[in-house]
């Protein structure tokens, strides 16, 4: 027992101790209070001062905007036949989270569509590297039978899903390749900021109509706002804005005739252009050899591409608009028109052709060594007398010839609605001074008179030239699509009141008559390629363009025959024409690279294509056929 005294001491000590404790506990409590207040302050900072920023971050976390790729517009020919379409691309996907045993499911799947061991290994690897709810592609481009089989068996294949994408298909393959072009993955320069371009698998037009009309064909992407959780799984769709599918483009091209022309060109390297002379609508634009644009839709191997790019017959080049050839004798109508318009000759003016013309030191040969004798305009064109045109050219001068050529569409861009157009070249004195830096020589004028020398033109320009000659001098604008792109949208092209070149119609008539004789006159260069059926006769002009220089020595020893030369040194065969003679409707140009003579090679091809065109129902070919009606039926057919 502790005594009273002891108790007092204890009590005293206790009091002192209690005071210490109280003081220190109070400090602790104050510290705690201070720290809790600091927490509140921090909360205020985060939830009030910085709240806006964090709320935005929370939304960014939560919302994932996904683009919905628009369906690419189709391309139809003038009769509404689809020539560039989208096929459904059926893919088999495997979602691991729904598949209890991925390996077993793949084995069961391979009973329907055989899956190789490598494929299986790839799929298993893909599945391992992704989150369980992300579908992995097992196989693409399934045919319909496999899809049907899979659909029936889905209950036994948990985790297997069939997904439909799109791929571009050109049902006519090589036939329209140069008109249509192809689609491909966008290149860095194509990335204009449109986010749809960055979608995996999205394709843009890389050449031809696909490129020229890419924006309207492309359509507008839709967006889907998705709420996602932390691992990216989609919880729900918050908002959806459907895009617009791409617009269909209707061409002026007749795919059946196009096929005919391609067949007729066969293995030759060349082109055929058939144009409506009133509208400028291009009905045929063939270029051979061609390529299969479908190969570009899937991945084209670099080796395959190299072999096409290196081919001397240039399958990738659209020769109709990008091939620049010396027009040869097909240029003689321009020279004649220039001379007639200048008044230096009349259709009756005659010259004597002894087989050559000596000017200064130079001796200029006619293709016919023994000469044509007395020649006026009709014979000059029908028999293609070179001396006659040397005379005309000498009298009218290069600058007037050049001006006339340009009025008919040569030497400049035609502003075509396809890609890859080249200008060709129409030389003049000013041009030579500026570009070559030398004065113009008279001999060069004579050579230009027969469409040789510096001068080059594309088959498209030659067809346009012919059309403008036989339609009364109307300035028609060649085009392959019935539609125009106006502010990224397609609008139907309206062919309004035509403008005229402004040449004397009597002179045009004289040229046309002479062109008729090329085929009708037994002495005409293309007499053997005439069309005999009544109402389908055609007029035209042959051309044979030298691609090498024939020396005097060779002339003396006898000019080497084309068939004895290597392919690349043979002459180009050309032909331009129109039909029917009574009421012209179409203009045509044919170029066969290194084909030999225009009359033997080019003219028969032109005849066959023209005859086929004239046999088509004229009512269906009437310019300005009901495009709107065509559109409506297309939509129904979709």
Partner 1 sequence: MIVVRLSGTATSKLSLQQKLLHLNWELVLLIVLTASIGFAMLFSAANGDFHPWALRQLIRFSVGLLLMLAVAVTDIRIWLRAAYPIYVVCLLLLAAVELMGSIGMGAQRWLDLGFFQLQPSEIMKVGIVLALARYFHGVDSEDAGRLSNLVVPVVFVAAPMALVLRQPDLGTAGVVAMVGAAMFWLGGTRLWQFATVAAVAASAIPLGWQFLHSYQKQRIFTFLNPETDPLGSGYHILQSKIALGSGGVFGRGFLEGTQSHLNFLPEKQTDFIFTVLAEEFGLLGGIGLIVLYGLLIAYGTYIAYRARSNFARLLAMGLTVNFFLYVFINIAMVMGVLPVVGVPLPLISYGGTAMLTVLIGFGLIMSCWLHRDTYINRRGGAFW
- The site for partner 1 (CB under 8 A) is made up of 1-2, 7, 11, 13-14, 16-18, 20-22, 24-25, 28-29, 32-33, 35-36, 39-40, 42-44, 46-48, 50-51, 53-55, 57-58, 61-62, 227-231, 235
Which CB, 215 or 226, lies closer to partner 1? 226
| 3 state DSSP class of 545 | strand
CA dihedral 19, 22, 25, 30 (to 10 degrees): -120
Residue 329 annotated to the active site: yes
Q: Minimum distance between the CB of residue 31 and partner 1, rounded to whole angstroms?
A: 9
d(CA 384, CA 490) in angstroms, rounded, equals 45
Minimal distance, residue 35 CB to partner 1, in Å: 5
> At closest approach, how far in Å is the CB of 12 from partner 1?
11
Tell which phi-psi region holds residue 209, choosing left (phi > 0), alpha (psi between -120 and 50) or beta: alpha
CB 456 within 8 A of CB 326: yes
CA nearest to 97, candidates 124, 126, 127, 64: 127
440-476: buried (b, 16+ CB within 10 Å) or exposed (e) per residue? beebbbbbbbbbbbbbbbbbbbbbbbbbbbbbbbbbb
Query: Residue 27 or residue 492: which is nearer to partner 1 going by CB?
Result: 27
Instruction: Supply the minimum distance, in Å, between the C-beta of residue 96 and partner 1.
Output: 19
Closest approach of partner 1 to the CB of residue 198, in Å: 21
Residues 6 or more apart from 469 whose CB is under 8 A from it? 333, 337, 408, 508, 511, 512, 578
- Using alpha carbons, list the distances in angstroms from residue 65 to 163, 166, 414: 20, 21, 44
- Smallest distance from the beta carbon of 2 to partner 1, in angstroms? 7
Is 132 or 527 the residue whose CB approaches partner 1 more closely?
Answer: 132
Report the distance separating Cα 91 and Cα 140, nearest Å: 4
Give 44 or 567: the residue with its C-beta nearer to partner 1.
44
Choose between 56 and 550: whose C-beta lies nearer to partner 1.
56
Nearest residue to 329 via CA among 470, 465, 449, 458: 449
Q: Do you find a cis peptide bond into 605, omega within 30 degrees of 0?
A: no
Q: Give the nearest distance from C-beta 7 to partner 1 in angstroms.
A: 5
Closest to 507 measured CA to CA, from 362, 627, 407, 610: 407
Question: Is residue 581 classed as helix, strand or coil in its secondary structure?
Answer: coil
Selecting among 290, 329, 384, 419, the annotated active-site residue is 329
Residue closer to partner 1, measured from CB, 13 or 125: 13
Q: Which is nearer to partner 1, 54 or 133 (CB)?
A: 54
At a CB cut-off of 8 Å and minimum separation 6, what does 267 contact? Answer: 288, 289
Q: Which two tokens stand for residue 124?
A: 């298993």
**Active-site residue list:** 329
């Amino acid at each position: 027992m502790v005594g009273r005294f002891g108790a007092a001491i204890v009590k005293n000590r206790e009091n002192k101790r209690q005071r210490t404790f109280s003081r220190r506990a109070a400090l602790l409590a104050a510290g705690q209070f201070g720290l809790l207040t600091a927490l509140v302050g921090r909360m205020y900072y985060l939830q009030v001062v910085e709240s806006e920023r964090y709320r935005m971050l929370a939304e960014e976390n939560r919302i994932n905007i996904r683009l919905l790729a628009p369906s690419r517009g189709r391309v139809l020919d003038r009769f509404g036949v689809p020539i560039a379409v989208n096929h459904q691309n059926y893919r088999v996907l495997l979602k691991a989270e729904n598949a209890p045993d991925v390996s077993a499911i793949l084995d069961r799947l391979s009973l329907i569509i055989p899956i190789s061991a490598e494929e299986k290994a790839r799929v298993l690897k893909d599945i391992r590297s992704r989150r369980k709810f992300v579908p992995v592609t097992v196989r693409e481009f399934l045919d319909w039978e496999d899809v049907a089989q899979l659909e029936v068996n889905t209950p036994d294949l948990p985790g297997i899903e069939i997904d439909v994408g799109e791929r571009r298909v050109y049902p006519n393959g090589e036939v329209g390749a140069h008109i249509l072009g192809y689609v491909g993955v966008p290149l860095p320069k194509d990335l204009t900021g449109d986010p749809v371009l960055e979608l995996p698998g999205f394709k843009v037009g890389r050449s031809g109509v696909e490129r020229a009309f890419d924006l309207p064909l492309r359509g507008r992407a839709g967006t889907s706002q998705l709420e996602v959780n932390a691992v990216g799984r989609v919880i729900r769709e918050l908002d959806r804005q459907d895009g617009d599918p791409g617009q269909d483009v209707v061409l002026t091209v007749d795919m059946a005739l196009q096929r005919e022309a391609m067949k007729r060109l066969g293995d030759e390297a060349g082109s055929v252009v058939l144009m409506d002379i009133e509208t400028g609508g291009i009905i045929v634009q063939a270029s051979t050899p061609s390529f299969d644009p479908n190969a570009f839709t899937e991945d084209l191997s670099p080796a395959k591409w190299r072999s096409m790019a290196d081919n001397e017959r240039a399958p990738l080049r659209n020769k109709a608009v990008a091939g620049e050839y010396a027009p040869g004798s097909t240029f003689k109508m321009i020279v004649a028109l220039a001379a007639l318009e200048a008044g230096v000759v009349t259709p009756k003016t005659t010259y004597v052709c002894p087989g050559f013309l000596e000017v200064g030191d130079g001796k200029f040969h006619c293709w016919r060594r023994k000469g044509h004798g007395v020649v006026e305009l009709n014979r000059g064109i029908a028999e293609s007398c070179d001396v006659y045109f040397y005379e005309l050219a000498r009298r009218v001068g290069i600058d007037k010839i050049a001006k006339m050529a340009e009025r008919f569409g040569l030497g400049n861009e035609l502003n075509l609605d396809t890609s890859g157009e080249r200008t060709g070249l129409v030389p003049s004195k000013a041009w030579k001074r500026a570009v070559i830096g030398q004065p113009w020589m008279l001999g060069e004028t004579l050579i230009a008179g027969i469409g040789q020398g510096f001068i080059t033109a594309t088959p498209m320009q030659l067809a346009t030239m012919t059309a403008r000659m036989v339609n009364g001098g109307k300035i028609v604008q060649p085009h392959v699509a019935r539609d125009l792109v106006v502010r990224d949208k397609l609008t139907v092209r309206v062919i309004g009141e035509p403008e005229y070149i402004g040449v004397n119609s009597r002179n045009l008539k004289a040229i046309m008559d002479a062109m008729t004789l090329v085929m009708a006159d037994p002495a005409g260069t293309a007499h053997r390629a005439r069309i005999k059926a009544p109402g389908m006769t055609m007029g035209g002009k042959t051309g044979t363009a030298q691609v090498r220089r024939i020396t005097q020595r060779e002339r003396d020893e006898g000019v080497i025959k084309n068939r004895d030369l290597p392919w690349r040194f043979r002459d180009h065969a050309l032909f331009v024409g129109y039909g029917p003679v009574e009421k012209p409707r179409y203009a045509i140009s044919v170029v066969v690279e290194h084909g030999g003579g225009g009359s033997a090679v080019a003219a028969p091809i032109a005849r066959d294509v023209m005859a086929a065109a004239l046999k088509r129902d004229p009512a269906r070919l009437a310019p300005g056929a009901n495009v709107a009606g065509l559109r409506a039926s297309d939509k129904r057919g979709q």
